[in-house]
Chains A and B, each alone.
Chain A
């Protein structure tokens, strides 16, 4: 193919414009369908929601189909600045970002542990990978039950330690506890951490699988050479293995950052942002003020979305820049 093009350019007869620019045009032809969809479902909505954040709108069109929105300029952002729920959400977003990063080293260590040849290892690997396969909603439900102080694992263990079984006034079995069981999901201080812990479970599995594929590509000869030089244990890991896993680490960090920022499903399932908004993050808060039952403030919701978009944009631009630099360096 490349040869043909080269011969083409050499022919003295003037080739058509299309033939001359074939190499430059071809990728765009393949990209067009994707670009159209990307524009319709991603790019245009981004600008629409930026625009909408300058309006006050309850999401209704009148009977003729005209929007009932009124222009308010940057007022929604001013309100956001004074809105304690917004700051709580932002703080929680940061907590998610920071704690979610634990998934990267934990995924690495599980991957190292599973990167052995033992009978049945495939089975163990799939068991570790399992949480990533099930839906986040299901993970949320399972953890919701897990934390339940009445019938969950946490409650059962607590009862075994601190409670004694008695009968209540009607003669039914009940429990008398020297200390009340911890109710993680209704505690404003702990609920967010409870949900992050639940979110880490599938995220660790994701990072683990990335590292497992990365470990397949670790050069055996380098390990051999390092071993001859007397490296082992932590030193081997840190100076020989981890540098070779750099691409896997990069992808793991990217997916974890994005995963942390778009945490929504588990919050919606486990606490609905409660108790009293203390577990909200920006994505859930946006949903709550704009489209949930008590929302109906589309403009305000859009301004929350815009802030989240700004934060995402910061990380994503950084990642893209890094990738670009790597590509350039790799050539």
Chain B
């Protein structure tokens, strides 16, 4: 199950012909079993194999959640040569425990310092670079274009325009936003955006880095704006018992008009029966015009464990995955954005809009649960969910988050 049969058979055939002397094993652990991402990865492996016939690539593809659990063991016990993982704070525990190798030389030799400059800060820790990203995607507001057309609404550019658009939707019996907060992280997406628009990228980063408090007046202002969004716009009822996929139902039915989400959700809308004409994408509206736009754009990357046996070929793989042509192909398959600035993007309309959006951004946030340490992220997201159910508890929640913050950092 974990072994790609085709690669395995090819490997056996190859070693039978060439003998074992030149066959070098390269073990890669990948973390997505969904059809699109799996295909994108397997295609890339096939291409890599073609270019390096002397390397025998062995892939282990695991489910995302299973990978998250397994990585803590396999990095020490039986390390692969390359593993997929997330940048930002998510890589911090492994970097700090000395389980990942720095790959500054790969960046240096392949000119990634220029081509991947947008993500360099996120991939760095302690002054070194720890991995190579292969894909990222934008977040923003997906909306029902047909509802907007019926109500003669334009894409709201500012907060006030959003509020008046919401008022019109509510008048017509449409719930402005859908969301499912059962698994918590969706609420963090909304928080990230309101905070990025209220205070900007630097304050947001300082917050997730534990440098400013949740009761700081700037963060309180974020929550005030959020409260306004809940009061004047409003989210679907029962969101605390729905997953993000469940929350597509009211969106597809036309009961709700907007969804703050990542680009991976487009597939879900189409599976729910919506066509490209019915859905559209817009950036999250500005709240304070003086604040330069920053966007939410989580990246996926590859890392080399310290205990890797075949570091030389692992570095070859890392150099390979960031190559413009590879990233172009790969991201077309998975419907996301290549990070290499020389890569071409797919002509899908959401990808095009996302690309324009992220190119204009002054900062890219990874996502609350990747930017903040795990314990803080958990408490924070529970706080967001509680706040969304009952905004009047704001002060108590922020107080509580301060206590957790003091303990975690």
Chain A positions near chain B (C-beta within 8 angstroms): 58-63, 65, 68, 79, 82, 84, 144, 147-150, 168-172, 174, 180-181, 183, 185-186, 188, 271-272, 274-277, 288-289, 291, 293-297
Contact = CB atoms under 8 A, between A and B. Distances in A.
Contacts of A144: 241
Contact of A170 (B97, B147, B181, B241): B147
Interface of B: 65, 68-69, 72, 75-76, 93-94, 97-99, 146-147, 150-151, 172-174, 181-184, 237-241, 249, 253-255, 305-307, 369, 374-375, 377-378, 381-383, 385-386, 389, 400, 403, 407
A183 B382 CA distance: 18
25 contacts: A58-B93, A61-B76, A62-B76, A63-B97, A63-B98, A68-B97, A144-B241, A147-B241, A150-B238, A150-B249, A168-B174, A169-B150, A169-B151, A170-B146, A172-B253, A174-B253, A186-B239, A188-B389, A272-B182, A274-B182, A275-B240, A276-B382, A276-B385, A295-B375, A296-B375
Q: Which of A59, A168, A188 has the most CB of B within 10 A?
A: A168
Contacts of B374: 293-296
Given A60-B76, A183-B241, A275-B240, A169 B173 contact: yes
Q: Which of B65, B76, B383, B403 has the most CB of A within 10 A?
A: B76
A275 B68 contact: no
Contact of A186 (B69, B238, B377, B383): B238
A60 B238 contact: no
Contact of B240 (A274, A291, A295): A274
Contacts of A181: 238
B240 A168 contact: no
A271 B241 CA distance: 7
A171 B389 CA distance: 29
A188 B386 CA distance: 9
A186 B147 CA distance: 29
A171 B383 CA distance: 37
B65 A276 contact: no
Contacts of A60: 72, 75-76, 93-94, 97, 99
A174 B76 contact: no
Nearest to B383: A276
Given A63-B98, A68-B97, A275 B238 contact: no
A98 B17 CA distance: 70
A314 B91 CA distance: 42
A291 B249 contact: no
User: Do most interface residues of chain B lie in helix, strand or loop, or is the interface mixed?
Assistant: helix
A144 B69 CA distance: 25
A271 B76 CA distance: 33
Contacts of B407: 79
A65 B183 CA distance: 33
A59 B68 CA distance: 13
B8 to A, nearest CB: 28
A149 B407 CA distance: 38
Contact of B306 (A59, A63, A148): A63
A219 to B, nearest CB: 51
A138 to B, nearest CB: 18
A60 B305 CA distance: 13
A274 B385 contact: yes
Contact of B254 (A62, A82, A84, A168): A168
Contacts of B305: 63
B255 A275 contact: no
Contact of B378 (A79, A82, A147, A294): A294
A68 B98 CA distance: 10
A62 B97 contact: yes
A291 B382 contact: no
A61 B97 contact: yes
B375 A149 contact: no
Q: Which of B68, B69, B182, B306 has the most CB of A within 10 A?
A: B182
A288 B65 CA distance: 14
B93 A172 contact: no
Contacts of A288: 378
Nearest to A170: B254
Contacts of A172: 253-255
Contacts of B385: 274-276
Contacts of B173: 168-169
Contacts of A63: 76, 97-99, 305-307
Contacts of A65: 76
Contact of A293 (B65, B93, B181): B65
A147 to B, nearest CB: 8
A291 B305 CA distance: 21
Q: Which of A144, A147, A170 has the most CB of B within 10 A?
A: A170
A211 to B, nearest CB: 35
Contacts of B99: 60, 62-63
Contacts of A148: 241
Nearest to B169: A169
A274 B184 contact: yes
A2 to B, nearest CB: 53
Contacts of A84: 400
B240 A169 contact: no
Nearest to A79: B407
Contacts of B375: 289, 294-297
A63 B375 CA distance: 24
B287 to A, nearest CB: 26
Contacts of B182: 186, 271-272, 274
Contact of B69 (A147, A149, A174, A291): A291
Given A61-B97, A169-B147, A274-B382, 5 more contacts: A79-B407, A170-B254, A174-B254, A288-B378, A293-B374
A69 to B, nearest CB: 11
A188 B375 CA distance: 21
Contacts of B183: 272
B259 to A, nearest CB: 16
Contacts of B237: 149, 180, 183
Contacts of B253: 168, 170, 172, 174
Q: Lowest 10 A-B CB distances belong to which pairs? A: A186-B240, A170-B254, A294-B378, A63-B306, A276-B382, A276-B386, A186-B241, A61-B76, A183-B238, A60-B97
Contacts of A297: 375
